[in-house]
Structure 1
Amino acid sequence: MRTLVTASWVIAHDGRTHVELPDGGVLIDGDTVLDVGDRAALARTPVDRHVELGEAVLTPGLIDLDALTDIDHLILDSWAPPERADGYVWSEAYFDRPRAVFDAAQRRTVRTYALTQLALHGITSYMPIASEVHSDWAETHEDLVAMAEVSRSLGLRGFLGPSFRSGVNVIGADGEPTVKYDEEAGRRGLAEALRFLDHTEKLADPLVTGVLLPCRIETLTPELLRDIARAAERRGALVRLHALQGNAERAYVRRTHGMTPLQLLAETGLLSDRLIVPHGVVLDVHPDVLGTDTGDTAVLAEAGVSVVHCPLTNARYAHHLHTFGAYRERGVNLCLGTDSFPPDLIRGIDTGVQVAKLQAGDLGQGHLAGYFEALWTGGPAPPRPRPDRPRRRRRPHGLRARRLPHGRDRGPAAHPGPQRHRARRGPHHGRRPGRHARRADPRRRPRRAAARRAGAVRPDARGLPGAGPPPAAGGGTLPACLPARLTDRG
């Protein structure tokens, strides 16, 4: 069935940047987006159904690469003064006798609620994070199998894997923070994560991609970090690791391993374009470290690491990126995450814009267009195919990319349902611009340090959103106007 969805505004992509289309529309045939453009032009195509959204903004689905799918401990521990902060961490005694607060059925209920909240907030693609505070260690393979079932039923696209760790932050008997380890539990966790990768391959569903999601860098031994790097290379998997996010983390890693967290990432083989790092805050440029650029951001940019910026969470913990604009100028690949409840990326963007103005002391330095670039076209580079498996062709479920008729290159395919399009209703303010699309940002994108981001970024063959404009079938370039699976390479 061919459907035309129209609205007073449509956010699209012209192959270089996002544009605002007044009186725009999206033409859909079955499960494929055929065209995005002017309402009047698209209306000349015969359709079976016309959905008029009226005074609304129709956008691509939102992409959250640090999406909380668990209990949000931030609600409790982002208010505590220093003298009370230790009360929100495991004690050494509890480490010896931990217990799971929720059983498997209750954990499924928690995740079902959280995933429903993602959909309600317009998030269609996500990478989950867990709060292990209430667990007896971390997530299990069975937890993620259940999450994948719920996620698929909601039509969300998940990049999933169980969390795992070899240590836990605790308060020692002397009252000082430290990390206690169970290295065998860490090895079991990695084995469970690899088992889940096997599960996602058997599913062969483009809505579920297996990734490796270890916990925080200070809770993983160097040996386990090396094992993760080798497994990611062997399996062609992306890795997301919380690192570079706090002063306590940096102090502990330097004290324990004799190097900074960034150096530990490099030493263990994880520093590559497979790596996704929330939050990437504590680097040399941060005032709490050196307050000057000695090359840390250049290391991230040259390696192709993606930093997940979570502006609302940073604000709640009063610990900001220094700065969003500077990271972009230095070529760091930025994408966005919520990392807390509610999973409201639009609120997060607004918070980030206001913080950027404060940091710069300049109302013109909010980088609003840059935030929306990070939202939709940020993200990691495509993972390379598994070296131990021959390539195989697999038709993606419900999402396709193709060269469009009439010689026009439009965006990749996306499902027409509510999980694929986000509509924001509201009155117009001021006069409507002319019939031609207005650029969301007239300035050129900052040049990326890595050549792959200099206008020739390849999409993630396994469906990761936000890798930039893909090559069109038959030549040309398909702009990334809708976040969707871009190829069918297995």
Structure 2
Amino acid sequence: MRTRWRARHVLAHQNGRHALLENGEVVWEDDVVTYVGPRYAGTADLDVDLGDSLVLPGLIDLDALTDVDHLVLDSWAPADRAAGLQWSEDYFAHRRRDVFTPEERQTIREYALVQLALHGITTFMPIASEVHSSWAEPYEELVATADFSRNLGLRGYLGPAYRSGVNVATVDGKRTVAFDERRGEEGFADALRFLDHAKELGDPLVNGVLLPCRIETLTEDLMRATAEAARQRDVLVRLHCLQGVLERELILDRYGVTPLEMLKRTGLLGDRLLIPHGQVLDRHPDVHGEDRGDVATLAAAGASVIHCPLTSFRYGHALRSFRDYREAGLNLCLGTDSFPPDLVRGMDVGVHLAKVMDGRADAAPAEWYVEAATLGGARALRRDDLGKLTPGAQADLVAFHVGDLRDGVQDDPIRTFLLSGTAREATHSVVAGQPVLVDGHVPGVDEQDLRRRAQALFEKMRAAYSERDVERREAEELFPPTFPAFQE
């Protein structure tokens, strides 16, 4: 089947880079783009005139929330409540449990994947919180997630998260990691089993990857096993690391090396490695405050950093800096990591955070962030056929309406959209040539029912924090309202 989109603005690809095309057309047959240009001379089975829209290559989110968001609870928490957001040692040793049933966890994932589709994400790699589970992610749950993702039509890079330990709060208010190595081995076995499952499916929309949790929650043996499995099976590894000062201290105390040195020692550092955040390197003010070669080491290894600007900003963090990482040759891609999964807001925040960090207006222009959300993600996935609109590429594309009076006057369509728009303006998306988002909705999804069910599960998750808190404080004390309730 041949389909044609027409739109006021198309971010095409020409001479090895993105290029703006006004009053452009994109044509694809089956799952491959066949034409991008001003006027297609042939006919199409389906014509879609998108009017005042901006058509981009499908957005790639490599740290995509597939859970109920907890940032709304913990991103503002003062120091006296921070411990209540972690497991207590007593909870780890005696009372850990699954807060949700498998059916409820499936609802959570369905809710999250629909959110990705509604925000114009076409390719994703999931991130889920383990705080409300008894350990990590079972194989069966990722099989169900893959099935739902396939039904939606998203392109997923999937695998169950696994870990050997969990961050806990001690009775004296300190943080450490409590280990259960057997559970780590079981989780790794589940991850390998899912790789086999993804291969057996033979569906290009389901790609198996290894998703171990945070580096401080893995044993050295599990890290080595992960690196060896990635080499043998030629799959990607995403590992949250280089993201916090506490992580660095825990790794130094346990192994006598830095997290970056640990990546090298275990064989993880290489072109299969994707690192969310990647902010705490030698240049961080709480480390050395100067460049001693860490960024160059990552770039030389071919690793990718998944920058999550909106989430980092909300927790008070930033890259130091986007320009320096890019100019060092390090591949930068993007993730959302929390709600909303809005890469447009994330790109806008990133552009302006970079100005603050570097003290210059052109620290990281809008086009660099758009490249990270498209071409950077494709490079991280080792997919030359993603992230661009050109003949021969996969037909993954998304349209945003940019004709609303509230968007203001327009200069450059990319800069204006990042400044004035959000991903909620996504109206249509296509993955592998098939529609995912149509007229701002995901066909077959009862959005109001899903919203109602997700809210009930959020309330259940919120209430469960009290049983994990060292002081067993109630949720109302851990998460007080912004203002007192009105009294009648």
Name the TM-score class by shorter chain.
0.7 to 0.9
- SS of 1:102's equivalent in the other structure is coil
Deviation track 1:324-356 (CA, whole Å, cap 9, x = no partner) reads 111001111100000001100000000001111
Say if 1:127 and 1:160, in contact at 8 Å, map to a contact too.
yes
Deviation track 1:274-298 (CA, whole Å, cap 9, x = no partner) reads 1000010000112221121100001
Q: Distance in 1 between matches of 2:392 and 2:247?
A: 41
Q: Distance in 1 between matches of 2:234 and 2:19?
A: 34
TM (normalized to structure 1)?
0.80
Say if 1:60 and 1:483, in contact at 8 Å, map to a contact too.
no
Q: Distance in 2 between matches of 1:75 and 1:431?
A: 33
Q: CA RMSD in A?
A: 2.5
Deviation track 1:347-376 (CA, whole Å, cap 9, x = no partner) reads 000000111112222223242111111111
Q: 1:246 to 1:204 in 2, by over 3 A?
A: same
Match of residue 352 from structure 1: 350
Q: Distance in 1 between matches of 2:112 and 2:371?
A: 25
Higher helix residue share? 2
Match of residue 220 from structure 1: 218
Match of residue 422 from structure 1: 399
Give the aligned residue type for 2:8: S
Q: 1:241 to 1:283 in 2, by over 3 A?
A: same
* Sequence identity percentage: 54
Match of residue 7 from structure 2: 7
Q: Distance in 2 between matches of 1:333 and 1:382?
A: 7
State the shift of 1:73 in Å: 2.0
Say if 2:9 and 2:24, in contact at 8 Å, map to a contact too.
yes
Q: Distance in 2 between matches of 1:276 and 1:202?
A: 24
Q: Distance in 1 between matches of 2:3 and 2:194?
A: 37
Q: Distance in 1 between matches of 2:161 and 2:100?
A: 16
**1:241-256 pair list within 5 angstroms:** 241-256=239-254
Match of residue 471 from structure 1: none
Find 1:60's aligned residue among 57, 60, 70. Answer: 57
Q: 1:310 to 1:245 in 2, by over 3 A?
A: same
Q: Distance in 1 between matches of 2:263 and 2:14?
A: 36
Q: 1:322 to 1:484 in 2, by over 3 A?
A: farther
Q: 1:32 to 1:411 in 2, by over 3 A?
A: closer
Q: Distance in 2 between matches of 1:192 and 1:27?
A: 41
Match of residue 453 from structure 2: none
Match of residue 392 from structure 1: none
**Do residues 413 (structure 1) and 394 (structure 2) align?**
yes
Q: 1:373 to 1:50 in 2, by over 3 A?
A: same
Deviation track 1:85-127 (CA, whole Å, cap 9, x = no partner) reads 1110000000012010001100000000000000000001000
Match of residue 258 from structure 2: 260
Give the aligned residue type for 1:410: P
Gaps of 5+ in 1: 385-398, 402-407, 441-481, 486-490
Q: Distance in 2 between matches of 1:68 and 1:319?
A: 19
Q: 1:107 to 1:430 in 2, by over 3 A?
A: closer
Match of residue 332 from structure 2: 334
Q: 1:58 to 1:188 in 2, by over 3 A?
A: same
**Do residues 33 (structure 1) and 33 (structure 2) align?**
yes
Deviation track 1:150-179 (CA, whole Å, cap 9, x = no partner) reads 000000000000000000000123432110
Match of residue 163 from structure 1: 161
Residue correspondences, number: 414
TM (normalized to structure 2)?
0.80
State the shift of 1:84 in Å: 1.8
